[in-house]
């Protein structure tokens, strides 16, 4: 049984125990799944210290952009607008 299967089983059991409306549960899960500044910093540092295959470079780049954007939004750092 893989880790994803265990997580899916756990979430199914949670749904059976709690009898809240689906919309409220969805909001709670979204909030629980948001990354904290500490978690984003950890991921960015781990990515910086890692090596990747050429085939994964675009995915890694796009992931870094998203993580940096979330970090800046959470930390209150203003984003620079792109000039055209």
Is residue 76 very low, low, confident or very high in pLDDT (cuts 50, 70, 90)? confident
Per-residue pLDDT of 5-63, as tens digits, reads 555 555 445 445 455 555 555 554 556 788 899 999 999 999 999 999 999 999 999 99
- Answering whether pTM is above 0.85, one says no
Residue 43: per-residue pLDDT: 95
Domain ranges for the chain, please list them. 37-75
The mean pLDDT value for 66-81 works out to 83
HEC profile of the chain: CCHHHHHHHHHHHHHHHCCCCHHHHHHHHHHHHCCCHHHHHHHHHHHHCCCCCHHHHHHHHHHHHHHHHHHHHHHCCCCCCCCC
């Amino acid at each position: 049984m893989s880790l994803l299967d265990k997580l899916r089983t756990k979430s199914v059991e949670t749904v059976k125990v709690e009898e809240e409306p689906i919309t409220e549960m969805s909001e709670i899960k979204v909030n629980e799944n948001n990354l904290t500044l500490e978690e984003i910093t950890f991921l960015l540092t781990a990515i910086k210290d890692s090596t990747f295959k050429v085939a994964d470079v675009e995915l890694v780049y796009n992931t870094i952009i998203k993580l940096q954007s979330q970090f800046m939004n959470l930390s209150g750092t203003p984003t620079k607008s792109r000039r055209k």
